[in-house]
Amino acid sequence: MGFYYSDDIYLGCDVKDREIIVFDNIIRTGQKIRSRIRDLQSRGAKDIYCFAAHGLSPGDELNRIVDEEGIKELILTNSLQQSSEMKRVRYISVGKLLA
């Protein structure tokens, strides 16, 4: 298992031909997650899935991140409502956690 420590210091094993899940708390501009994805792709990662608790970027920016970076799927909580149609972006409800 490999993981990022701090912003861009990767500690871990070989990711070549493996499915990878990238976790982040908040996607604001997408720069941090883009950097991590590109690094993992350069190391030969097969499929990359991303999870973030909050997607603060506008919907079109989230779609751009998924399309341009070749993410298999982006999973966000519905803590913030997005108005636009999202391709390959899935929302997980936090309703039961807050009830």
pLDDT at 6 over 70: no
pLDDT in tens, 70-95: 899 999 888 877 665 677 788 888 88
The whole model's pTM is what?
A: 0.80
* Sequence ranges of the domains in the chain: 3-98
Confidence grade of residue 15 (pLDDT, cut at 50, 70, 90): confident
Confidence grade of residue 57 (pLDDT, cut at 50, 70, 90): confident
CB 86: neighbour CB atoms within 10 A? 17
Helix, strand, coil: what percent of the chain each, to 5?
Answer: 25, 35, 40
Computed over every residue of the chain, the mean pLDDT equals 81
pLDDT in tens, 32-54: 889 888 988 988 988 999 999 88
Pairing outcome for strands 47-55 and 73-77: parallel
E strand residue ranges, 19-67 = 19-27, 47-55
Residue 48 zone, left/alpha/beta (φ > 0; ψ -120 to 50; rest)? beta
Q: What is the mean pLDDT of residues 27-32?
A: 87
In the CATH hierarchy, which top-level class contains the domain 3-98? alpha beta
